[in-house]
Structure 1
Amino acid sequence: MSKYGRKIANLTSVLGCIVGWVCIVLSNTVNIMIAARFLQGISIGMITTLGPVLIGEYTSPRNRGAFLMTISISISIGVFVIHTMGIYINWQICSYVCIGIAIADIIIVILSPESPSWLAEQRRYEECKYVFRYLRGDKEEEELEKMIAATIVTEVYEDITTHDNIGEKVNNSVRYVKETVKNRTFYLPVFIMFHVFAMAQWSGINILTSYLVDLTENLVGSESDIALTIISTDVLRILSNIVGLVLVKKMRRRLLIFVTVGINLATLIFISGYSFAKQTILLQNDYPYIGMLLIYLQMFSIAIGALPMAYVLAGEVFPLKYKGLCGGITTFCMSMNLFISMKTIILLFNTIGFSGTYLLYSGLVLYCLIIVGIFLPETKDRTLLDIEEEFRGKKLTVDCSMKNI
């Protein structure tokens, strides 16, 4: 997306997704199914990096948080639709539906403009001005002028792209990497987003999406209506995302993270304690409504805070020059946290039990929350360039006329 543009990268990711679904529909062996999932994994990795960046560059500072929150809403709706269809419809029909959605995505991407930030970085200033005004009108000319002024290509980058000698290209690339990793606007956002994504992945969302049956049987009982629990939890996730969309317009990012992740942290500890009490003589009777309440509260706290806020911040904190690189690194870190979390859930359940697993998760979430609280600057209603300047060490002044929290 840095070299060829956000639009080409977006099209590539959707095409990879379509090929993956077609392979699933036509698969008659396990190997083809694995190859299909591999292609879809690549596509998901690409769009996870690209989506927040593109929305962040499209939208104005005051509306950016709400638009970025729609990523989580879209994911929640997708999870709800797939879970519901998976209960009642053949898996191949589900695949055809997903292919249709992806084709609609391609049409939307083709009709969408290129990112004005990328156009400015490529020194295509007239196109940049046209697209910027097309997306936002003519009331944010100051941000447009600052963005164009900030897109001067460094001498190091010019050296890398202009030298014909392979040895010189390699040497300059190494020098460029060394200078990049020492840059505060590069390593600080990466460090912060590593912990933000880790906080989201260890919040318990993977248990709720992939092991909800096990969780329900442990907290509620084996006689509960599993299908109803899955659908109702997915509906709650969508509604919580919508509430989060409203709150992200009203509350500062840091406050919203502390409140929602704090609720999530308390829920993890309560579930750990309740599960432990059920397995011992401390709680001799079953209270299924308490178990369901804890499941719903956990989903509410995640869907309103840790998970959507990860996408919101991913669209705000990366500097223009390193968006692709920062996004790729943090998406890799998120994927590794997802991979480790998913592959260890059953192992943890079998070794330290539900109570121990949730207690471990609460410790990881608490650590990430402390790190985010220390290093994350406030980003609400700030331009992307202002946020980048703060990462350089320049303190931003708070607009006293703002009436939001």
Structure 2
Amino acid sequence: MAPCCFIGGWLIEKFGRRQTLRTLGIPFFIGWIIIIFSTNFTQMIIGRFINGCSIGLLNPSMSVFISESSSPKLRGMFLALLSFSFALGIFVSHLIGTWVSWQGTAIISAFLPMASVIILAFVPESPVWLLSKGKIDDGIKAFYWLRGYGENAKDELKAMIEKFKSTEPSTGVWRNDLKKYNTPKFFKPLIITITFYLTCHYSGVHTITFYSVDIIEKAVGGGIDRYVAMLTIDALRVITTLITFLTSKNCPRRTLCILSGSLTAASMIDDKTIKVSMSSRKITEATKS
């Protein structure tokens, strides 16, 4: 999935954000079809591998398309909506999978990528990408379709057109083109973003998502319905991402990141404390016996 993120960046620059997103619906669908008809572990892994590659290609395409198509005042909210969408999708898939077989869940999931392909047929390409490719008229039409004809929108469009007209074209020599990336305005945000996502994913967010049933069963035992507990965790994730979405417009992003990281660290420390306490209790009981 990670290498595909780099490939996805090249695809959206070469073929456009909207076209890349529409095309990705096909491998998504193929991956789910393989899973539906799989009869052994190898076929299941092949289907998951295709879906994983598709997700890696999807992540940069989706984020860039939303950021370039939305108003600067609402851009933060729309990008925060991505996390809410992921959380809601996980909750719905787990909810369906609790009462429906895994084949049935895969069948339902297979139709969602094709639905996005149909919906994107009625949405224009990113105006930023169109303008960057010299398609000024198409870029103007797409911009007004997405943003309307307000005065602020017109001023932003005018500034965008002037920016792309003054931008130096690519020299065609990759060594010369790489020089523009050796600047603080490029590598500083890159380092911050990579560090943030590494620490975020290393905290175990995906581990909890995919193995929550097994983790709950081993941690609690038979004292609680592990599927209800899984759905409760998913519901809490949906609620917190929704709160982030609603507050991201007025609350500083840095404050939200610090708060999220602090709460995550506190929960992991508390979890470790509980494990140490339980181990000490077992050792004490074993010593007494």
Specify the alignment match of 1:3 in structure 2: 14
Larger CA deviation: 27-36 vs 237-246: 27-36
- Aligned AA (1:144): L
- Aligned AA (1:41): G
Specify the alignment match of 1:272 in structure 2: 272
Specify the alignment match of 2:8 in structure 1: none
Specify the alignment match of 1:146 in structure 2: 159
Matched, 1:131 2:142: yes
Q: Report % sequence identity.
A: 27
Task: Call closer, same or farther: CA 1:87–1:284 in 2, change over 3 Å.
Answer: farther
Specify the alignment match of 2:41 in structure 1: 30
Specify the alignment match of 2:230 in structure 1: 230
What 5-or-longer segments of structure 2 have no aligned partner?
1-11
Task: Call closer, same or farther: CA 1:33–1:207 in 2, change over 3 Å.
Answer: closer
Specify the alignment match of 2:90 in structure 1: 79
Specify the alignment match of 1:51 in structure 2: 62
Say if 2:31 and 2:51, in contact at 8 Å, map to a contact too.
yes
Task: Call closer, same or farther: CA 1:124–1:271 in 2, change over 3 Å.
Answer: same
Say if 1:119 and 1:125, in contact at 8 Å, map to a contact too.
yes
Shift of 1:233: 1.2
Specify the alignment match of 1:367 in structure 2: none
Instruction: Map 1:297-336; keep pairs closer than 5 Å.
Output: none
Specify the alignment match of 2:3 in structure 1: none
Cα separation, 2, equivalents of 1:183 and 1:31: 45
- Aligned AA (1:223): G
Task: Call closer, same or farther: CA 1:99–1:36 in 2, change over 3 Å.
Answer: same
Say if 1:116 and 1:132, in contact at 8 Å, map to a contact too.
yes
- Aligned AA (1:265): A
Matched, 1:202 2:213: no
What is the TM-score with the length of structure 1 in the denominator?
0.63
Matched, 1:65 2:79: no
- Aligned AA (1:138): Y
Matched, 1:14 2:20: no
- Aligned AA (1:241): T
Specify the alignment match of 1:395 in structure 2: none
Task: Call closer, same or farther: CA 1:32–1:54 in 2, change over 3 Å.
Answer: same
Shift of 1:17: 0.2
Residue by residue over 1:260-284, the C-alpha shift from the partner in whole angstroms, topping out at 9 and shown as x without a partner, is: 2212222211111122112113998
Shift of 1:219: 4.6
Task: Call closer, same or farther: CA 1:80–1:67 in 2, change over 3 Å.
Answer: same
Cα separation, 2, equivalents of 1:218 and 1:30: 25
Cα separation, 2, equivalents of 1:134 and 1:284: 70
Cα separation, 1, equivalents of 2:260 and 2:37: 43
- Aligned AA (2:28): C
Q: Which runs of 4+ in 1 moved over 3 A?
A: 217-222, 281-285
Cα separation, 1, equivalents of 2:41 and 2:100: 21
Shift of 1:41: 1.4
Counterpart of 1:185 in 2: which secondary structure?
helix
Shift of 1:218: 5.3
Say if 1:58 and 1:115, in contact at 8 Å, map to a contact too.
yes
- Aligned AA (1:26): F
Instruction: Map 1:111-130; keep pairs closer than 5 Å.
Output: 111-130=122-141
Say if 2:31 and 2:47, in contact at 8 Å, map to a contact too.
yes
Cα separation, 2, equivalents of 1:63 and 1:206: 28
What 5-or-longer segments of structure 1 have no aligned partner?
161-171, 286-405
What is the TM-score with the length of structure 2 in the denominator?
0.86
Residue by residue over 1:181-212, the C-alpha shift from the partner in whole angstroms, topping out at 9 and shown as x without a partner, is: 41223222221110121122023312321232
2:117 to 95, 106, 119: 106
- Aligned AA (1:112): V
Specify the alignment match of 2:176 in structure 1: 175
Counterpart of 2:244 in 1: which secondary structure?
helix
Cα separation, 1, equivalents of 2:278 and 2:206: 23
CA RMSD of aligned residues (A): 2.1
